[in-house]
C-alpha cells in the first residue's frame, strides 16, 4: 500500500541490486516477498506507509471488529425473543473504537517489518518509482532488480460530486479515525462495504441513510439474498434509498437528483475502489494499464514487461485479501522459479459480512439462471435445525448443479455463511458431485446442514427419475424374492 511520501530508511542498508523487489507491503506483497525469500532469493520489500496493507489497518480487521461490537448490541436488543430482558443498551463509542484498535494491534505483529526480516525479507520504507525496465529509485538511491512484483493495491474511489471537496467526508480508510458516534450518517454506495458499515453504525446508534443508484443494494448478489440483507438493514433502522442518484453536496447535506436533501453529520463514501497505479513510473518501466488504471497482466500475472509481475487489487481481478495472497504466491513463484503457474478463479469465494451474511463460491445463482444446463437447488433455513434453535431462519442455501450433478456454484445466506462456504469452495474446485457431499457425514446440528441437505435433496431427485426408480424397485423385488427362497 503506497500512500505517503517518505525518505527511504535503511534496513540495515538499501541494496544496489536484488533478485526481487516487491513494491507494496499489503497481503499480496507480503506473501510474494516471503515466498521468494523462502527460495533463498535476495528480496527487498518497499512500503512507504506501514506493512499489513488495507486489510489489516482499514479493511477486513477493523470492519469485522466493529461488526462484532454492533452484533452484540443487536443481540442484546433482541433478547426478549429468548426470554431475556436486556433492552436498555448503552453504547460507549470510544470503547468500541478501542476494541477495534485492539484487534488491529493484536494482529499487526504478524505483518510487521521485524517479522518479515526474520523471514529474510529486507524491508525498506520509502517511495518507489520505476526509472527503467530493470531499475527503480528510492529517494536518492537506485535499485536494479532481476524481477519485480507490483502490489500497491487499491484505494477508495471518490465520485466527482460538486461540493464534495468542501466537506470532511469519510471513506473506508478514514472512518476509523472517528472518536464520536455520528448522530446522522449518510452512506453513499450500497455495495458490501457500504452495507456492512451502514448496519454496524445503525446498530451502534447512528441514524443511517444509505443511497444506492442501482435498483437494489448489493446489485452483484443473488436478488433474494440482497432482499434479505435490505430488510435486515431496514429492521435495524437504516433508511434505504435505491434507484437514487446523488447530484451534489451543499453544506452538511447530500442533494439528490430529485431535489431531496439528506442532512448529515458525517458522509461516508463507499462507491468502489480504484487501483493505486499512478505516480510509480509504470510507463517508464514498460508496464501498461487498462483505461480504468488496472495493470494489464496475463494468466500468469506477468505484465507487459516480462521482468515485472503484478499481484492483488491493482490487477482488476476480484479485490479480496484471499485473492491477493494467492496472487502473491503465484507471482513470486513464477518470477523466481520460472514456472508458469496460472490464476485459477474456479470457486473463488466472496463474503458480505452483514447480518445475515452472504457467501458465494463459483457460479452465482443469478449467472446460473442464464446458463443452459445448470439447475439451482434451494433449501430454506427454516429446515435447518440449528437455525430454528437460534431463531435465525431468514436465510437459504442454493447449490448450482450441472448436468452431471457436479456442484459448480453455491450461495449461502445466514449466520456464519462465510464459514459454511469453505466446504462449497472445495466442492466446486474439486468438481464434487452432490452425491459426494450427501455421502459425507456432517456434524449435527450446524449451519452446514443446509448445503448437505440440499445435496441430499438433489440425490433423491435423481433416484426419483423413472429409469432409476424403476431399476431400484426391480432390485428390491429381486432381493426380497431371493431372501424368501433362502428362508424356504
Give binding residues for NAD(+) as ranges. Answer: 189-196, 212, 272
Q: For the chain, give the number of residues.
A: 488
SS3 350: strand
Determine the Cα–Cα distance for residues 312 and 306; give it in Å rounded to an integer. 18
SS3 79: helix
SS3 268: strand
User: Which residues partner with 262 through β-bridges?
Assistant: 254
Contact call for residues 276 and 26 (beta carbons, < 8 A): no
Hey, what's the cell of 49?
506507509
User: Which residues carry a binding-site annotation for FAD?
Assistant: 64, 313
Of the candidates 176, 63, 129, the residue with the CA atom closest to the CA atom of residue 280: 129
Hey, what's the cell of 73?
448490541
Centroid of chain to Cα 458: 29
Determine the Cα–Cα distance for residues 334 and 36; give it in Å rounded to an integer. 10
Instruction: Give the angle subtended at the CA of 26 by the CAs of 321 and 275, to the nearest 5°.
Output: 75
Count CB neighbours of 93 within 10 A: 17
CA torsion through residues 169, 171, 176, 181, sign: positive
Count CB neighbours of 261 within 10 A: 12
Residue 338 CB burial class (10 angstroms; 0-12, 13-18, ≥19): exposed
User: Which residues carry a binding-site annotation?
Assistant: 64, 189-196, 212, 272, 313
Amino acid at each position: 500500500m503506497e500512500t505517503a511520501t517518505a525518505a527511504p530508511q535503511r534496513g540495515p542498508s538499501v541494496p544496489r541490486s536484488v533478485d526481487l523487489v516487491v513494491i507494496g507491503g499489503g497481503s499480496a506483497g507480503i506473501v510474494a516477498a516471503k515466498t521468494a525469500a523462502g527460495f533463498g532469493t535476495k528480496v527487498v520489500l518497499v512500503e512507504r506507509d506501514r506493512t499489513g496493507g488495507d486489510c489489516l489497518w482499514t479493511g477486513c480487521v477493523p470492519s469485522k471488529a466493529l461488526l462484532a461490537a454492533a452484533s452484540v448490541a443487536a443481540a442484546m436488543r433482541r433478547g426478549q425473543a429468548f426470554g431475556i430482558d436486556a433492552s436498555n443498551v448503552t453504547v460507549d463509542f470510544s470503547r468500541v473504537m478501542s476494541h477495534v484498535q485492539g484487534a488491529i494491534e493484536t494482529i499487526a505483529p504478524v505483518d510487521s517489518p521485524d517479522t518479515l526480516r526474520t523471514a529474510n525479507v529486507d524491508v525498506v520504507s520509502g517511495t518507489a518509482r520505476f526509472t527503467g525496465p530493470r531499475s527503480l529509485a528510492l529517494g536518492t538511491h537506485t535499485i536494479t532488480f532481476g524481477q519485480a512484483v507490483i502490489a500497491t493495491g487499491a484505494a477508495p474511489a471518490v465520485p466527482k460530486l460538486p461540493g464534495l471537496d468542501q466537506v470532511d467526508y469519510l471513506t473506508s480508510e478514514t472512518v476509523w479515525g472517528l472518536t464520536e458516534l455520528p448522530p446522522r450518517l449518510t452512506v453513499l454506495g450500497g455495495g458490501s462495504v457500504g452495507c456492512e458499515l451502514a448496519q454496524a453504525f445503525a446498530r451502534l446508534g447512528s441514524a443511517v441513510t444509505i443511497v444506492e443508484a442501482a435498483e437494489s443494494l448489493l446489485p452483484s448478489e443473488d436478488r433474494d439474498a440482497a432482499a434479505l440483507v435490505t430488510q435486515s438493514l431496514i429492521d435495524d433502522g437504516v433508511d434505504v434509498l435505491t434507484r437514487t442518484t446523488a447530484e451534489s453536496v451543499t453544506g452538511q447535506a447530500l442533494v439528490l437528483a430529485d431535489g431531496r436533501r439528506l442532512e448529515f453529520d458525517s458522509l461516508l463514501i463507499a462507491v468502489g475502489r480504484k487501483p493505486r497505479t499512478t505516480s510509480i513510473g509504470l510507463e517508464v518501466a514498460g508496464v501498461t494499464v487498462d483505461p480504468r488504471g488496472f495493470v494489464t497482466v496475463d494468466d500468469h500475472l506477468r505484465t507487459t514487461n516480462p521482468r515485472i509481475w503484478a499481484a492483488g487489487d491493482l490487477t482488476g481481478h476480484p479485490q479480496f485479501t484471499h485473492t491477493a495472497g494467492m496472487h502473491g504466491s503465484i507471482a513470486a513463484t513464477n518470477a523466481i522459479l520460472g514456472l508458469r503457474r496460472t490464476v485459477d478463479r474456479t470457486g473463488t469465494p466472496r463474503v458480505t459480512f452483514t447480518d445475515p451474511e452472504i457467501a458465494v463460491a463459483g457460479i452465482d445463482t443469478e449467472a446460473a439462471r442464464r446458463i443452459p444446463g445448470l439447475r439451482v437447488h434451494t433449501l430454506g433455513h427454516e429446515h435447518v435445525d440449528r437455525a430454528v434453535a437460534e431463531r435465525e431462519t431468514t436465510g437459504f442455501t442454493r447449490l448450482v448443479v450441472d448436468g452431471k450433478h457436479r456442484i459448480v456454484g453455491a450461495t449461502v445466506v445466514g449466520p456464519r455463511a462465510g464459514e459454511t462456504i469453505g466446504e462449497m469452495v472445495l466442492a466446486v474446485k474439486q468438481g464434487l458431485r452432490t452425491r459426494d457431499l450427501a455421502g459425507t457425514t456432517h456434524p449435527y446440528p450446524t449451519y452446514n446442514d443446509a448445503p448437505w441437505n440440499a445435496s441430499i435433496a438433489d440425490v433423491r431427485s435423481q433416484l426419483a427419475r423413472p429409469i432409476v426408480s424403476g431399476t431400484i424397485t426391480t432390485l428390491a423385488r429381486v432381493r426380497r424374492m431371493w431372501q424368501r427362497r433362502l428362508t424356504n
